[in-house]
Amino acid sequence: MTAKYKFPEGFWWGSAASATQMEGAAREDGKGLNIWDYWYEKEPNRFFDGVGPEIASNFYHKYKEDIKLMKEIGHNSFRFSISWARLIPGGIGQVNEKAVKFYNDVIDELLENNIEPFINLFHFDMPLELQEKGGWESREVVNAYVEYAKVCFELFGHKVKRWLTFNEPIVPVEGGYLYDFHYPNVVDFNRAVQVAYNTMIASAKAIEAFRSLSIKDAKIGIVLNLTPSYPRSSNPADLKAANIADLFFNRSFLDPAVKGEYPKELVEIIKREGLMPVVEEKDKSLLSSNTIDFLGVNYYQPRRVKAKACMPNPEAPLMPDNFFDNYEMPGRKMNVYRGWEIYEKGIYDIAINLRENYGNIESYISENGMGVQNEERFIENGRIEDDYRINFIRDHLIWLHKSIEEGCNVKGYHMWTFIDNWSWSNAYKNRYGFIQLDLKTQKRIIKKSGYWIREVSKNNGF
Ligand code: BG6
């Protein structure tokens, strides 16, 4: 078949997943607890249908079967994360040999199936003991993370060539310190800024440690969720609001990661509002000399913004939203289940922005996807006919292809996610996988989109 949309040779086709969302075996083989195990134990009511992370999609026991399925649907690459609390229970000290064996087995199985492993070091899952020491607010925890990162590079660096320091580091900031959807459920802008800052220090220190090992042919990056900010109109007040949202939600991580420094405008706002974090003398040079080799972009939805309509309540906690209002554009296309707008061109706008303003850094789409509720209603002859997901992917790929034709340095496209998995407090509400997971039997069945992506991968286009 000659593809109309042909992608560059060696394009990465695959998916991403995370330890807590797929492994299960939450209390097996010496794994320590992380904040999710703990929060679920304390407040199961905060999780959809009261389902916690203890079983998830059971990758810990079913990785062989799952990797076979990945191969079957045409994956040539797969990103997963290491569970810090599994590898080093408690977060500091003794390495858990059973975890080393498990991750080695997974990596070997992937390599044997010609699937390139991308390893992410942190996907929202702080070991509980370290959260009790202050989590990302604490420099001691930052240093513990760097030790953990070194252990991972030393253990697996000879086999794994693509490393990521964090997945969406802004999400624990938003969820845990501003908007109450992650443990520790703090609402405090000041502390949120410290957490954000320390996370980037941790990332830069891990990159420094990685480079000092000079692992042959290996690269290190970060995964950021970029949400392009579109103003309601060209009114200067709307433009200003959109710019602030962009500074808070994109450039707060993108600039230090790629350029090694924070945007001046952002620093001015943070100073003006009295939100400056505690910094150390060497941080500036640490950040500027340890920028990433490549960037993973998670793209789900745009952010539409307008100037603030009302004065915020002066007694309510200060929030990023004190500086702008979210804008519900009439006629926008919605994924009603997740409540997220679908705007395919956003993927193109991100790539162009990286080309224009970030030195055209090597990048790939590290997550894109569509969570849908009650997918069983789409079963026909035993298979989920998820044409909506196929359309979603195809329409994003068309825009991604255009960006590549225009010179953007995009190397691949990973879906969220391989198999229906546990989605934090949404648990199993929305299903994202190419593969259906029957929660009762743990049976895996390829959806129509899985067969579709196999063809796309085989033809390197469509
Ligand atoms: C990304 C995360 O934000 O989106 C994943 O990296 C997450 O961990 C995915 O599962 C989908 O979002 P949600 O909230 O529907 O699970």
The finding on whether 225 has its CB within 6 A of some atom of ligand 1 is: yes
Q: What pLDDT, in 10s, does the model give residues 75-88?
A: 999 999 999 999 99
Nearest residue (CA) to ligand 1, atom 2: 168
Query: What gap in Å lies between CA 293 and CA 290, rounded to an integer?
Result: 9
- Kind and range of the H or E element at 389? helix 387-405
Please provide the distance, in angstroms rounded to a whole number, between the alpha carbons at the two ends of the chain: 8
97, 367, 385, 455: which is the annotated catalytic residue?
Answer: 367
Q: How confident is the model at residue 1 (pLDDT cuts 50, 70, 90)?
A: low
Q: Cβ distance 152 to 84 under 8 Å?
A: no
The finding on whether 416 has its CB within 6 A of some atom of ligand 1 is: yes
Nearest residue (CA) to ligand 1, atom 13: 423
CA atoms within 13 Å, Cβ hemisphere of 377:
3
The rounded Å distance from CA 1 to ligand 1 centre is: 34
Q: What pLDDT, in 10s, does the model give residues 158-189?
A: 999 999 999 999 999 999 999 999 999 999 99
Residue 446 has a pLDDT of: 98
Q: Is the pLDDT of residue 327 over 70?
A: yes
pTM more than 0.95: yes
Kindly list the distances between the CA atom of residue 160 and the CA atoms of 68, 69, 118, 186, in Å, as whole numbers in the listed order. 19, 21, 7, 36
Q: Which atom of ligand 1 is nearest to the CA of 371?
A: 15
Q: Go through the chain and tell me how many residues it has.
A: 462
The rounded Å distance from CA 423 to ligand 1 centre is: 6
The finding on whether 426 has its CB within 6 A of some atom of ligand 1 is: yes
Q: What pLDDT, in 10s, does the model give residues 250-274?
A: 999 999 999 999 999 999 999 999 9
Nearest residue (CA) to ligand 1, atom 12: 423
- Assigned domain for 7 exists: no
Q: Is the pLDDT of residue 2 over 90?
A: no
Can you name the residues that pair with 347 across neighbouring β-strands? none
Query: What gap in Å lies between CA 64 and CA 332, rounded to an integer?
Result: 41
How many domains are contained in the chain?
1
Could you tell me how far CA 461 lies from the centroid of its own chain?
25
Question: What is the CB neighbour count within 10 angstroms for residue 224?
Answer: 27
Residue type, 276: M
The finding on whether 371 has its CB within 6 A of some atom of ligand 1 is: yes
Q: Cβ distance 160 to 107 under 8 Å?
A: yes
Q: Cβ distance 427 to 372 under 8 Å?
A: no
The rounded Å distance from CA 237 to ligand 1 centre is: 32
Q: Cβ distance 433 to 447 under 8 Å?
A: yes
Q: What pLDDT, in 10s, does the model give residues 36-57?
A: 999 999 999 999 999 999 999 9
Here the tokens at position 119 are: 């390893």
Query: What gap in Å lies between CA 402 and CA 410, rounded to an integer?
Result: 11
Is 425 in a helix, a strand, or coil? helix
Query: What gap in Å lies between CA 447 and CA 433, rounded to an integer?
Result: 8
To test the ligand 1 pocket, which listed residue (301, 340, 423) has its Cβ within 8 A of the most ligand atoms? 423
Tell me the Cα Rg of the chain: 21
Query: What gap in Å lies between CA 352 and CA 320, rounded to an integer?
Result: 26
The rounded Å distance from CA 31 to ligand 1 centre is: 23
Alpha helices in 248-386 (DSSP H): 252-259, 264-272, 283-289, 345-357
- Mean predicted lDDT score pLDDT of the chain: 98
Here the tokens at position 338 are: 């997740």
Q: Cβ distance 151 to 87 under 8 Å?
A: yes
The finding on whether 335 has its CB within 6 A of some atom of ligand 1 is: no
Q: Cβ distance 403 to 347 under 8 Å?
A: yes
- Assigned domain for 287 exists: yes
Question: What is the CB neighbour count within 10 angstroms for residue 180?
Answer: 14
Give Cβ neighbours of residue 228 (< 8 Å, ≥ 6 apart): 246, 250, 302, 303, 346, 349, 350, 353
The finding on whether 366 has its CB within 6 A of some atom of ligand 1 is: no
Q: What pLDDT, in 10s, does the model give residues 363-397?
A: 999 999 999 999 999 999 999 999 999 999 999 99
Is residue 367 part of the annotated active site? The answer reads yes
CA dihedral 394, 398, 403, 409 (to 10 degrees): 40
The rounded Å distance from CA 165 to ligand 1 centre is: 17
Query: What gap in Å lies between CA 301 and CA 434, rounded to an integer?
Result: 20
The finding on whether 20 has its CB within 6 A of some atom of ligand 1 is: no
- Assigned domain for 3 exists: no
Nearest residue (CA) to ligand 1, atom 11: 423
The finding on whether 420 has its CB within 6 A of some atom of ligand 1 is: no
> What is the bridge-based pairing of β-strands 435-437 and 444-446?
antiparallel
Nearest residue (CA) to ligand 1, atom 7: 423
- Assigned domain for 1 exists: no
Q: In what order do the strands lie in the sheet with 303-306?
A: 229-231, 303-306, 325-326
The finding on whether 15 has its CB within 6 A of some atom of ligand 1 is: no
Q: What pLDDT, in 10s, does the model give residues 395-440?
A: 999 999 999 999 999 999 999 999 999 999 999 999 999 999 999 9
Q: Which atom of ligand 1 is nearest to the CA of 225?
A: 3
Q: Is 159 buried (19+), middle (13-18) or exposed (0-12) by CB count in 10 A?
A: middle
The enclosing domain of 309 has a CATH number of 3.20.20.80
Residue 243 has a pLDDT of: 98
Average of pLDDT values for 299-317? 97
Average of pLDDT values for 204-212? 98
Q: Which atom of ligand 1 is nearest to the CA of 423?
A: 16
Nearest residue (CA) to ligand 1, atom 10: 423
- Assigned domain for 4 exists: no
The finding on whether 367 has its CB within 6 A of some atom of ligand 1 is: yes
- Assigned domain for 63 exists: yes
Query: Which domain covers residue 449, as residue numbers?
Result: 12-459
- Assigned domain for 6 exists: no
Query: How many percent of the chain have pLDDT more than 90?
Result: 99
- Assigned domain for 304 exists: yes
Query: What gap in Å lies between CA 138 and CA 280, rounded to an integer?
Result: 12
Average of pLDDT values for 294-309? 98
- 24's torsion region: left (phi>0), alpha (psi -120 to 50) or beta? left
Strand ranges (E), 23-168:
77-81, 116-120, 162-167
The rounded Å distance from CA 16 to ligand 1 centre is: 10
The finding on whether 229 has its CB within 6 A of some atom of ligand 1 is: no
